[in-house]
Amino acid sequence: MLRASIDLMGGENAPNSILKAASNFNNVHFVFTGTESVKNLIAEYKIANYSFIEAKIVLEEGVRFSNAELEQSSLYIAIEQVRDGNADFVLSAGPSGYYMLMARRILGTIANLNRPALAAIIPTTKGSSVMLDLGANLTCDAIDLAKFAVMGAALSKFWLGNKIPKVGFVNVGSELGKGPENIKKALDIFSKIQQEATGSFIECNYIMRGDCDVIVADGFVGNCILKFAEGIAVFFRNRLKNALTGNIFTKTIALLLRKDLKRSIVDPKQYNGAIFAGINGCIVKAHGSSDAIAFQAAISVGIKVGCNKKELIKAIEEGLNACDLQNIE
């Protein structure tokens, strides 16, 4: 049975939304970490298989904690379960900075990677793409971006089944001479070290069209693109809802088309769950505002990577080792 380590204290809607989501997975053993105050809530959700480990500290964004306090936190203890072999993946909606810091400290990185990246699946008109970095590294040099591309290609093969992924480096134009030097150099490096993927530049307006299987950007740009896309999805969903509920005629149309509309409208919650690519273990990050639907999607991501963790880590490791063999540093 797959084992999931879950930080019950992370996120704005913790712990109820997390427990509600977990109650939908009967084939997973959950290792919950949290303060004593939440322990009794678990029984209310009739979760089939679980254990509980008590923590003393709840981490908060923007608050400084000592090393001793970090080690007593629910998030730290949750990550430890992966290190100790008690869980196949860990999931939290807690503070991203502390999450990355402790994951690196406890689990280390693959192939001595300096900068792990936050990676997730995004919807496109052709299906899905992998995008990274989504906020872990606000500034990156060419080598960082090239290594993100290598990890993204491995994730695309593993996650989406793309045998020869098309990798796009986000830029202001698709022509080779355009853009900042670090992005132009990153494409050049990637093209030299990667034989099982193709690289190019991609403009933001073509990302959702699905022209590339992997989208690479630094964490600042990637996070801005992601949040703008989420906002646009909500904007159009609300506009469509208002248009279809204005009068009895439009309400009738909405009723007749409800199944098609449900399939066509993208809900960002269904794509919740990013992984820390490059960490030597399966680390899943949920959005801080995740509700039960979003947490359920994030758990599904954890199950996907947790069931195949050895193969995924090996694929990333082989790609990163190839980078080092080229002496690009």
- Mean of the per-residue pLDDT values for the chain? 88
State the DSSP string of 298-322.
HHHHHHHHHHTHHHHHHHHHHHHHH
200 confidence band (pLDDT: 50, 70, 90): very high
Query: Which residues, at least 6 apart from 287, have a Cβ–Cβ distance to it below 8 Å?
Result: 11, 93, 272, 294
Could you read off the pLDDT of 170-181 as tens digits, one per residue? Answer: 999 888 888 999
Q: Which of 26-30, 296-300, 301-305, 321-325 has the lowest mean pLDDT?
A: 321-325
Which of 79, 124, 112 minimizes the C-alpha distance to 98? 79
Percent of the chain whose predicted confidence (pLDDT) is above 70 = 91
Q: What is the mean pLDDT of residues 233-259?
A: 68
Q: Which of 53-67, 130-144, 160-174, 188-202 has the lowest mean pLDDT?
A: 188-202
Could you read off the pLDDT of 42-58 as tens digits, one per residue? Answer: 989 989 899 999 999 99
- Looking from the CA of 206 toward its CB, the CA atoms found within 13 Å total 17
Nearest-angstrom CA–CA distance, 268 and 208: 13
Is the pLDDT at 40 greater than 90? The verdict is no
Nearest-angstrom CA–CA distance, 289 and 312: 28
Could you read off the pLDDT of 213-240 as tens digits, one per residue? Answer: 999 999 999 999 988 888 887 787 777 7
